[in-house]
Amino acid sequence: MAVSSLILPHGGTLVNRIPSGLLRENLLQSAQDLPRIVLDEPHRADLLMIGIGSYSPLTGFLNRHDYKAVVETMHLKNGLPWSIPITLPITEDQAYDLVLDQPVALTDEQGTILAVLEVEDIFPVDVEHEAQHVYRTTDGAHPGVARLYAAPRWRVGGAIWLLQVEQGAFPHLPRTPQEVRQSISDAGWRTVVGFQTRNPVHRAHEYIQKCALEVVDGLLLHPLVGTTKSDDVPAPARVRSYERLLREYYPANRVLLGVFPAPMRYAGPREAIFHALNRKNYGCTHFIVGRDHAGVGSYYGTYDAQYIFNEFDPTALGITPLFFEHTFYCQRCGAMASAKTCPHSHEHHVILSGTAVRALLSRGELPPPEFSRREVIEELIAA
């Protein structure tokens, strides 16, 4: 099956903002004398995601018109669904120094030039307004809101050219949409379900992934490996656990492990839409949405991330969500189950939160085997 026969990317075209040859040489040379904006780790990750096409149809950071439309309507100004504003903060001094229609260099903290941005727009934002719409809270204790509040309150928008593509921590795993699409094509899959995770895959996750595999050709296990909260399990430990789990318990010809280098925003329902659209760019036709997708604390209802899909035209989203109830091991059933399939009361269910698992491990105690495979726990202990 040719790559071109796969599901179309969001907006119809897979964006590629990585120049080559003479164009790259000229951009890199001219960037030496340009004004500079230093990017922190999350914004470097967003820059990478734009450049490699993960955020298609975006070709750069949002201008004020798209920003306002995304924040208030969850669509770009042209009407295409898009739920998270991808913006680049700048200081007020930079806002007055930059010139419209002139390029600016984007660098890391060490001064390495990563990209060139053509300044299309410079505008202030109301961060409390954005927080309420995007995160459904203005509480500064929310990690996504805290990051928003900590940034300067001006934005610069415009298309980018990505000049440096960092190798990343997992060079043996596909990272770009083009790489994943090629792997899907090589496997001959026509339907592919994506699974977003920032946690180890425990028995409940395994159960819903395998349920989904009953109705599609392949599974893209697609862990987010960008910036997460400090108490989340580090990406290297998670990836090792995924590799062991897939090797021992999944059919090799029906599962693909890739990495998703975006930062985590913890935006709950809005981020569920965002993650689904991103996986469409990677070639997924379906996307798993479980309980409290991309949630944190008690900011979102258990199934708000599923309900939000009702607010969109399914044909405009272009990817099919698969909704799953909270799953658990039932000691009476002797199997994994959910409220849809199990008649027994809670005292028979083995349910642990990520916080509870971390507490057990910190005390040197192991979660029960009904909750997690031995191979996963061994990697978490080693970490």
Tokens at residue 332, please? 């009476």
In the predicted structure, residue 166 carries a pLDDT above the cut 80: yes
Which pLDDT score is estimated for 117?
98
pLDDT at 359: 81
**Amino acid, res. 19:** P
Distance, in Å, from the CA atom of 132 to the CA atom of 149, rounded to the nearest integer, reads 12
pLDDT of residue 361 exceeding 80, the answer is no
Query: Which residue ranges make up each domain of the chain?
Result: 3-162, 177-382
Which run of H or of E encompasses 122? strand 121-124
Average of pLDDT values for 316-322?
98
pLDDT on residue 197? 93
Which band of pLDDT confidence, cut at 50, 70 and 90, is reported for residue 167?
Answer: confident
Helix, strand, or coil here: 257?
Answer: strand
| pLDDT tens digits along 169-197 | 899 999 999 999 999 999 999 999 999 99
Q: Residue 141: pLDDT band by 50, 70, 90 thresholds?
A: very high
Q: Output the average pLDDT for the chain.
A: 95
Q: Name the percent of the chain lying above pLDDT 70.
A: 99
The CA-atom distances, in angstroms, between 335 and each of 144, 197, 204, 356 are 36, 23, 11, 22
Residues designated catalytic? 198-199
| Tens-digit pLDDT profile for residues 15-69 | 999 999 999 999 999 999 999 999 999 999 999 999 999 999 999 999 999 999 9
Q: What is the mean pLDDT of residues 202-231?
A: 94
CATH superfamily of 3-162: Sulfate adenylyltransferase (3.10.400.10)
pLDDT tier for residue 3 given thresholds of 50, 70 and 90: low
pLDDT(363) > 70: yes
> What's the pLDDT band for 2 if we cut at 50, 70, 90?
low
Q: Which fold has domain 177-382?
A: Rossmann fold (3.40.50)
Ranges assigned E (strand) in 186-344: 192-197, 218-223, 255-257, 286-289, 320-323, 327-330, 335-338
Q: What is the pLDDT of residues 98-122, one digit of tens each?
A: 999 999 999 999 999 999 999 999 9
203 neighbors 370 (Cβ within 8 angstroms): yes
Under the banding of pLDDT at 50, 70 and 90, the label for residue 228 is: confident
pLDDT at 355 exceeding the cut of 90:
no
Q: Is the pLDDT assigned to residue 1 strictly greater than 60?
A: no
Say if pTM beats, i.e. exceeds, 0.75: yes
pLDDT for position 360: 82
DSSP letters spanning 166-197: ---S-TTS--SHHHHHHHHHHHT-S-EEEEEE
